[in-house]
C-alpha cells in the first residue's frame, strides 16, 4: 500500500521559497504546491537586481559561517543540476583599515574556520587591484570562497528543477490568509482554497500580510543598487576584479564585477527610514542621493564614470536584532522563514534546506535557538521593534 504523502504549500517563490520548492520536491516525500503573487521571476522582490555578493568570511560574525558553507555547496549543486551559471567563484575582497571591527571579525572567521584566503598589505593591494583607490592604512582579505550570485538565473533554475521533480507551481496567485484547522491549514488564495498538511511561509517583505501576528516583529528597510559605467571593461571582469566590500570612514560600499560588458555594480545605501509595509518603501532614489553615491563611488574606485548608469530600489524585512526567523509555529504546521535582515539571498539555499527539514522532520541541521520565534519575541519584549535606519 502506497504511503500517504503530505501536501506542503510554499508561499512565496522568491529567494528562499524557490530554493525550498526545489529541495522539497527533489526529496519526493510530499506533494509540493508553490504559490507566488507575481509572475515567475519578477522585479518586485528583494532578490532582484542582476547580482548579489556571496561571502564565507562574514564580518557579521562566525554564527553564520556554517550556514554559508552549506549554502555554497548547495549553490554549486544548483549550478550543476541546472546547467546554468548561478555562482561566480571570483572571490570577495574586503578592504578596510586594519583596526576596523568588521574587518577584524572577517579575519576571525577566516582563522576560526580555516577558510582559504589571501591577505594584502597596502602596497600589495595597490599593485594587485589598481581598480580600487587605496588609502594609506588600507588592507584587505580575499575570501576565496566568495564571489557573485545571479539571483534571477538561480531562481528560474530552482523553479524549473522543482517542476521537473513534480512540484505544482502557481503564479499570479495571492495568498489572502491562513486558517489552521484540525485537519491541517486552509490556505485561502485569490484562486481558491487549498488544504495543506503544512505551510512554509517564505514571502519576504510581504510576510506580515500572511502572518499578521508578526506585525510588531518585522520592519522593512530599502535596499538600493547602483551601477557605474567603467572606462575599460576588460579591467573589471570577474577574473581581475572580485566582488568587494569597502569601508572607508563612514562610507560602506559593496560591488560586483562587470557582467554586462560595460558597467559594474557599486552600491552604498543612503540613510532611509524604516517602514512598516512594503507599499511604503520608496521605489527610486532622489537625484541628491544619486549625486552623493556617485561622489562616494569616485572616492573608492578608479576608472569609473561617477554618474550611475542604472539604479533600482528594493527592500528587505528586518528583525530588531537583525537575526533571521527560521522556525515552526506553536502548532508545528506552519514553518516561518522571515526577517532575513539583509542576510537573505546568499543564505537562500541553506534556508531552503532548513525549511524543508523543518517541514518533513520537525527540526533542521542548522536550526539555531537565536532564530526561533520565541527568542525573537523575547528580544522584542526587552528591546522593542527595530527602529533604526537603513544605510
Buried b (16+ CB within 10 A) or exposed e, 349-360: bbbbbbbbbbbb
Confidence of residue 117 (pLDDT cuts 50, 70, 90): very high
Confidence category of residue 333, pLDDT binned at 50, 70, 90? very high
The pLDDT assigned to 367 comes to 77
pLDDT of amino acid 270: 83
**For position 296, what pLDDT does the model report?**
95
| pLDDT at res. 386 | 85
Within 144-222, where are the H helices?
Answer: 151-164, 207-210
What cell was used for 323? 537575526
In CATH, the number for domain 52-149+219-318 is 3.30.9.10
Q: Is the pLDDT of residue 390 over 80?
A: no
Name the CA dihedral angle for 52, 57, 62, 64, rounded to a multiple of 10 degrees: 20
Cβ-count burial 256-283 (b if 16+ within 10 Å, e if not): bbbbeeebbbbbbbbebebbeebeebee
Percentage, residues of the chain above pLDDT 70: 99
Q: Assign 183 a pLDDT band (cuts: 50, 70, 90).
A: confident
Sign of CA dihedral 262, 268, 270, 273: positive
Q: List residues bridging with 194 in a β-sheet.
A: 187
Give tens-digit pLDDT for 253-270: 999 999 999 999 999 988
DSSP one-letter string for 16-45: HHHHHHHHHHHHTSSEEEEE-SS-SS-SSS
On average, the pLDDT of the chain sits at 95
CB-based contact 245:59 (threshold 8 Å): yes
DSSP assignment letter at 8:
E
Instruction: Say which CATH class 7-47+152-218+320-383 falls into.
Output: alpha beta
User: How many angstroms separate the CA atoms of 184 and 281, rounded?
Assistant: 34
Tell me the average pLDDT across 91-107. 96
Which residue in 182, 193, 221 sits closest to 205, CA to CA? Answer: 221
Q: Where are the domains of the chain?
A: 7-47+152-218+320-383, 52-149+219-318
Amino acid at each position: 500500500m502506497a504511503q500517504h504523502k503530505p501536501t506542503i504549500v510554499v508561499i512565496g517563490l522568491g529567494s528562499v521559497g524557490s530554493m525550498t520548492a526545489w529541495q522539497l520536491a527533489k526529496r519526493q516525500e510530499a506533494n509540493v504546491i508553490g504559490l507566488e503573487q507575481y509572475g515567475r521571476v519578477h522585479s518586485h522582490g528583494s532578490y532582484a537586481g542582476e547580482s548579489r555578493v556571496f561571502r564565507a568570511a562574514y564580518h557579521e560574525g562566525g554564527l553564520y559561517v556554517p550556514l554559508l558553507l552549506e549554502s555554497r555547496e548547495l549553490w554549486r549543486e544548483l549550478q550543476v543540476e541546472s546547467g546554468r551559471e548561478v555562482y561566480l567563484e571570483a572571490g570577495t575582497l574586503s578592504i578596510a583599515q586594519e583596526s576596523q571591527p568588521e574587518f577584524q571579525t572577517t579575519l576571525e572567521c577566516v582563522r576560526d574556520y580555516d577558510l582559504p584566503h589571501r591577505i594584502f598589505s597596502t602596497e600589495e593591494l595597490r599593485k594587485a587591484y589598481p581598480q580600487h583607490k587605496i588609502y594609506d592604512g588600507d588592507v584587505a582579505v580575499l575570501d576565496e570562497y566568495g564571489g557573485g550570485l545571479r539571483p534571477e538565473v538561480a531562481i528560474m533554475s530552482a523553479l524549473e528543477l522543482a517542476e521537473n521533480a513534480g512540484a505544482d507551481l502557481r503564479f499570479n496567485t495571492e495568498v489572502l490568509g491562513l486558517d489552521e484547522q484540525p485537519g491541517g491549514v486552509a490556505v485561502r488564495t485569490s484562486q481558491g482554497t487549498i488544504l495543506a498538511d503544512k505551510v512554509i511561509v517564505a514571502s519576504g517583505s510581504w510576510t506580515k500580510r500572511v502572518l499578521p501576528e508578526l506585525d510588531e516583529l518585522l520592519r522593512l528597510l530599502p535596499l538600493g543598487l547602483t551601477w557605474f559605467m567603467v572606462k575599460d571593461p576588460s579591467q573589471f571582469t570577474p577574473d581581475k576584479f572580485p566582488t568587494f566590500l569597502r569601508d572607508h570612514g563612514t562610507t560602506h560600499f559593496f560591488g560586483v564585477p562587470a557582467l554586462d560588458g560595460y558597467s559594474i555594480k557599486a552600491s552604498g545605501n543612503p540613510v532611509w527610514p524604516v517602514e512598516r509595509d512594503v507599499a511604503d518603501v520608496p521605489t527610486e532614489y532622489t537625484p541628491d542621493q544619486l549625486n552623493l553615491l556617485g561622489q562616494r563611488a569616485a572616492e573608492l574606485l578608479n576608472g569609473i564614470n561617477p554618474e550611475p548608469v542604472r539604479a533600482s530600489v528594493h527592500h528587505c524585512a528586518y528583525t530588531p536584532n537583525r537575526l533571521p526567523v527560521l522556525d515552526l509555529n506553536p502548532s508545528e504546521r506552519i514553518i516561518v522563514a522571515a526577517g532575513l535582515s539583509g542576510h537573505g539571498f546568499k543564505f537562500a539555499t541553506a534556508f531552503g534546506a532548513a525549511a524543508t527539514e523543518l517541514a518533513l522532520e520537525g527540526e533542521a541541521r542548522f536550526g539555531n535557538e537565536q532564530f526561533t520565534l520565541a527568542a525573537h519575541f523575547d528580544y522584542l519584549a526587552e528591546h522593542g521593534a527595530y527602529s533604526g535606519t537603513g544605510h
